[in-house]
Amino acid sequence: MNDKNNSYHMELEEFRQNGYRAVDWIVDYLQNVESYPVLSQVAPGDIRKQLPPSPPEHGESFDAMLKDVSEIVLPGITHWQSPSFFAYFTANSSPPSILGELLSAGLSVQGMLWATSPACTEVETHVMDWLVEMLGLPHKFLSRTDGGGVIQHSASDATLCALLAAREQATAGQSNKQGCDGKLIAYTSGQAHSSIEKACMIAGIGSENLRLIELDQRFAMRPDKLDEQIRADMQAGLEPFFVCTCVGTTSTLALDPIADVAAVANEHGLWLHVDAAMAGTAAVCPEFRFINAGVELADSYTFNPHKWMFTNFDCNAFFVADRAALINALSILPEYLRNQATESGAVFDYRDWHVPLGRRFRALKLWFVIRHYGVEGLRHHIREHVALAQEFKQWVTDSDEFDLVVDNPLNLVCFTHRDGNEASERIMKAVNDSGRMYLTHTKLDDRFVLRMSIGQTRTERRHVEAAWQQLRAAAADRR
Amino acid sequence: MNDKNNSYHMELEEFRQNGYRAVDWIVDYLQNVESYPVLSQVAPGDIRKQLPPSPPEHGESFDAMLKDVSEIVLPGITHWQSPSFFAYFTANSSPPSILGELLSAGLSVQGMLWATSPACTEVETHVMDWLVEMLGLPHKFLSRTDGGGVIQHSASDATLCALLAAREQATAGQSNKQGCDGKLIAYTSGQAHSSIEKACMIAGIGSENLRLIELDQRFAMRPDKLDEQIRADMQAGLEPFFVCTCVGTTSTLALDPIADVAAVANEHGLWLHVDAAMAGTAAVCPEFRFINAGVELADSYTFNPHKWMFTNFDCNAFFVADRAALINALSILPEYLRNQATESGAVFDYRDWHVPLGRRFRALKLWFVIRHYGVEGLRHHIREHVALAQEFKQWVTDSDEFDLVVDNPLNLVCFTHRDGNEASERIMKAVNDSGRMYLTHTKLDDRFVLRMSIGQTRTERRHVEAAWQQLRAAAADRR
């Protein structure tokens, strides 16, 4: 309680001092992040048992909170921002992104309608257009055409929205009104992300109505098999409507042949969605744009700046060629949201572009990231990550104990130990338990495959080299 | 380009200085927020035309960005944090919340699995349990029972998840597998939020299969009409499965009689979801807990700390009595997410509790807010907001030109001008155009109704009084 004005709010001068200390805390954290075990070593319940069972009746100082973050929270953190984090897919962040998130929290606006904060909508539309240019994406995704881009929470949400737009287009809006009828069929790669199946469950399509198409030797979708399956489903009286193709699958970063997949989808009149969640950022470099060959034939496209573009979660970028199809699938206009700007039709109301109504000003951090690095800066670091992965790949190839499983041109290396699954799994466990690095696995044709994903903001050659030494040492120790 | 180390990253010392300046900027903003027009006065396109059409090739200084935030962005902001913001529903924020968001951005962890940052999951579970205690919610929502709480992006997402859990329970998991069949029927108040209809569209239920139940004089759902409708649908061979009832509708903050609605839902074996998006926070005060009478009979419950609990968006709290039902509806476990902790069954993996896979550390800001204010501090300010609204209501009641439309016990006042719709609309437009306050409207039985929503962090009696004077002056000027 602040006696002066009968208020419990934190005074602004106190906020200023605490804000400085929070910034200092982050600087310390990022300076020292290499000294912590990358993978948290706590056991289930270790964090909770240090917290008071009941909420405090009386307010506490920011000192107390910051102390608890250092002493209780930090040991329970798996350090995604560590330069030795090679697990899953990268989720890098950067100072300009943190600053954008901070200012966004300070403004705390709701951008659900253009009218509820025009800048929140317009900066977002603008930065989405910038991304189209930066990545060499087709012009039909620009806001001045019939398409446009929007920030979504995650690629899972973007894929769900693409599926819904496709569903409504296929059923002329009838699914929205009368519900689904179990006849619509969706298609994706047998290596697609679990979010595609989840979206089919959520949208009332059903996971059994999602066809996982057979793969080629490089774990990419086979367009001939897609065509075969679509024809078989049509013959069976079912209604094919949606194809999700991957620029970089989660397991191996496999690149589907988008142009060939698109040709099949287009021939049969199916919606084509391209999921480039992690790999999409690579297209900022002209030499990697081959990954998007064929995207000009897609109806929608998504990638995550919050994975590889130095922007902290959440910030997914989702583009559609026909925004009307998306809006038709998701729009509802109750009286309490009516306003002049919306009715004029001159503005975008982004709440009609996704599941939630509310939305914060996420474009700010992406705007800051692009402006801080400039396109050349982003290119520089993406090239660096890819070069490091390619060098690591060469070490694996040259090694007499590890085997390369997939020859990927980007920033993921999939490999195994020659002694088989148990050896690979034990090596993974040993390096992760050491706390000095963190990597995860996938399974491919019953092989336990290690995944080395390179893309954290502060990862340098020395970290990748140290990781390789640790993997070799763990392999040797195992004997 | 930072020549020293061949990097475009912002050096940490530079980040520290820029961080201080961003904090200073927010302090200035909050100190001066009353001097800006509450509702942004820009026209469509005004913001975008000030931005360069192409992304910068070379990096820019943080100075340049901060200058653009002040000069370009700020005029395009509708100031949700203004003490004279009375529109829609409150979306208040506070310094401890901003600090929590800042630290969360600094840590930038992914909390999709317990293993990917145990503290992110455990602090969240813990704070959700705290909320159950703070709000007097039923113990079946506690994590040590079969239930539990989770932070969702928005109430729209929470309602969608409740609907999906109900759908899978009603169809024994068959909708997830085979898709929907158009026979499931959902029920809600005729004044429910548009998100219920949107969720029915998304989940393949269909908006025509959502029954809007007739209201009583206070715009609350009539349980007898609900019962009637369910029986009629059953007789018609349809499958009633879900009821969403409201603690505080969006238009008028109407309180459905939850216990009576629950009795009907339970009798017919339907899932009962309670949507208390805005009003839920009021239950922190024992004297307002009557709003939740009957929640002990619900299957799920949601409210938004990001509306009235001083926590910046996004932070929705969603509780279920049977977490297995929710997880069954949303779980998928691909190989690349498998890990020991998950397989032991001893931990929560929150990605199975909502649509997205990724999630940031949102519990941090809520933890900070509760600890900063203490329960007594939150009670103090909620009581203050309600008292201000009740005082405003009295002014309306005593006035000879305005009429009270609904007698609500909380923090929303719905009223009209006696001269009718056109007068009310012109008054609203006049005060909003003045920039000195901002309120919005709804329509009730063809009446254009003004909504005065009181709950911003820095709203004091003087702001509410000034708003009343402005409304009266606008009414007088109109003649």
Would you place residue A5 in the very low, low, confident or very high pLDDT band (cuts 50, 70, 90)? low
Q: Do A179 and B178 touch (CB under 8 A)?
A: no
Q: A456-478 pLDDT, tens per residue?
A: 999 999 999 999 999 999 999 98
Residue B329 and residue A201: Cβ atoms within 8 Å? yes
Residue B108 is nearest to which of A91, A204, A377, comparing CB atoms? A91
**Are A336 and B88 an interchain contact pair (Cβ–Cβ within 8 Å)?**
yes
Size of interface A-B (CB pairs under 8 A): 538
Q: Select from A91, A176, A380 the Cβ nearest to the Cβ of B201.
A: A176
How far does the CA of residue B464 sit from the closest CA of chain A (Å)?
17
> Tokens representing A47?
């964090």
Query: Among partner residues A60, A76, A372, which is closest to B372 by beta-carbon distance?
Result: A60
Sign of CA dihedral B195, B197, B198, B200: positive
**Closest-approach residue (CA) in chain A for B363:** A73
Q: What confidence score (pLDDT) does residue A345 get?
A: 80
Residue in B closest to A28 by C-alpha: B12
Residue B457, token pair as written in the block: 């962090």
Bridge pairing between strands A447-453 and A440-444: antiparallel
Strand order in the sheet with B210-213: B148-152, B316-320, B300-303, B271-275, B239-246, B184-189, B210-213
> Helices then strands (H, E): number in chain A?
15, 11
Which of the residues A28, A57, A98, A359 would you substitute to probe the B interface, choosing the one with the greatest number of B C-beta atoms within 10 Å?
Answer: A98
Q: Are strands B412-417 and B447-453 parallel, antiparallel or unpaired?
A: antiparallel
Q: What is the mean pLDDT of chain A?
A: 96
CA gap A158, A164 in Å, rounded: 10
SS3 of residue B182 by DSSP? coil
Assess whether pLDDT exceeds 60 at residue A4.
no
Q: Give the C-alpha distances (Å, rounded to integers) separating A232 from A226, A236, A240, A299, B159.
A: 10, 6, 10, 23, 37
Asked whether the predicted pLDDT for residue A1 surpasses 80, the reply is no
Residue A70's closest CA among A20, A104, A21?
Answer: A21
Residue % of chain A over a pLDDT of 70: 99
pLDDT confidence band for A332 (50 / 70 / 90)? confident
Least CB-CB distance to A160: which of B75, B355, B440? Answer: B355
B208/A374 CB distance under 8 A: no
Residue-level pLDDT at B248: 95
User: Residue A26 above 80 pLDDT?
Assistant: yes
Task: Specify the 3-state DSSP secondary structure of A417.
Answer: strand
Interface test with B, best of A23, A304, A306 (most B CBs within 10 A): A23
Under the banding of pLDDT at 50, 70 and 90, the label for residue A63 is very high
Model pLDDT, residue A193: 85
Spatial contact of B67 and B22, defined as CB atoms under 8 Å apart: no
Please name the member of A10, A204, A380 whose beta carbon is closest to the beta carbon of B179. A204
Distance, CA of A401 to CA of B217 (rounded, Å): 78
Q: What is the pLDDT of residue B329?
A: 95
Q: In this structure, are residues B145 and B139 in contact, taking their beta carbons and an 8 Å threshold?
A: yes
Count CB-CB contacts under 10 A for residue A433: 12
Contact A119 B75 (CB under 8 A): yes
Closest in A105, A314, A370 to B312, CB measured: A105
Residue B355 to residue A73, Cβ atoms within 8 A: no
Give, for B13, the enclosing helix (H) or strand (E). Answer: helix B12-32
CB contacts, 8 Å: A458 with chain B: 9
Does pLDDT of A16 surpass 70?
yes
pTM of the full structure: 0.97
Q: Which residue of A has its CA nearest to B443?
A: A335
Q: Which long-range contacts (CB under 8 A, 24 or more apart) does B121-125 make?
A: B121/B347, B121/B348, B121/B349, B121/B350, B122/A45, B122/A46, B122/A47, B122/A48, B122/A76, B123/A47, B123/A51, B123/A73, B123/B361, B123/B363, B123/B364, B123/B367, B124/B150, B124/B151, B124/B350, B124/B362, B124/B363, B125/A48, B125/B149, B125/B348
SS3 content of chain A, % helix, strand, coil (to 5): 50, 15, 35
Beta-carbon separation of B27 and A40 below 8 A: no
Q: Are B36 and B81 in contact (CB under 8 A)?
A: no
Domains and CATH numbers, chain B: 10-83 (1.20.1340.10), 109-359 (3.40.640.10), 380-477 (3.90.1150.10)
Pick A126's closest partner by Cβ from B48, B115, B344. Answer: B48
pLDDT digits (tens, 9 = 90+) for B237-248: 999 999 999 999
CA distances from B148 to A51, A163, B113, B316, B390 (A): 17, 30, 16, 14, 35
Grouping H, G, I as helix, E, B as strand and the rest as coil, residue A114 is helix
pLDDT at B336: 75
CB contact under 8 A, B95 and A27: no
Q: Which residues contact residue B289 at a Cβ distance below 8 angstroms, ignoring those fewer than 6 apart?
A: B135, B136, B283
What single DSSP character describes residue A255?
B
Residues of chain B contacting residue A193, judged by C-beta atoms under 8 Å apart: 334
Mean pLDDT by 10 residues, chain B (479 residues): 74 98 98 97 97 98 98 98 97 97 98 96 98 98 97 97 98 94 95 92 97 95 98 98 96 96 98 97 98 97 98 98 95 81 86 95 98 98 98 98 96 98 97 97 95 97 98 92
- Cβ neighbour number for residue B217 with a 10 Å cutoff: 6
Question: Can you give the pLDDT at residue A183?
Answer: 94
Q: Is A456 helix (H, G, I), strand (E, B) or coil?
A: coil
Task: Please check the confidence at residue A3 and state whether its pLDDT lies above 80.
Answer: no
Residues of B in contact with A110 (CB under 8 A): 80, 88, 91, 313
Which of A29, A62, A154 is nearest residue B357 as measured by Cβ atoms? A154
Cis omega (within 30 of 0) for bond into B314: yes
B402 burial type by CB count under 10 A (0-12 exposed, 13-18 middle, 19+ buried)? buried
Residues of B in contact with A457 (CB under 8 A): 9
Cβ atoms B72, A122 nearer than 8 A? no
Strands across the sheet with A447-453, in order? A402-406, A412-417, A447-453, A440-444
Residues of A in contact with B344 (CB under 8 A): 44
Q: What one-character-per-residue DSSP string does A160-229 give?
A: HHHHHHHHHHHTTTHHHHH---S-EEEEEETT--HHHHHHHHHTTS-GGGEEEE-B-TTS-B-HHHHHHH
Give the pLDDT confidence score for residue A232 in this predicted structure. Answer: 98
Helix (H) or strand (E) holding B18: helix B12-32
Question: For A264-295, how does the pLDDT look when each residue is reduced to its tens digit (9 = 90+)?
Answer: 999 999 999 999 999 999 999 999 999 999 99
- CA distance to partner chain B, nearest, from residue A28 (Å): 9
- Is residue A447 helix, strand or coil? strand
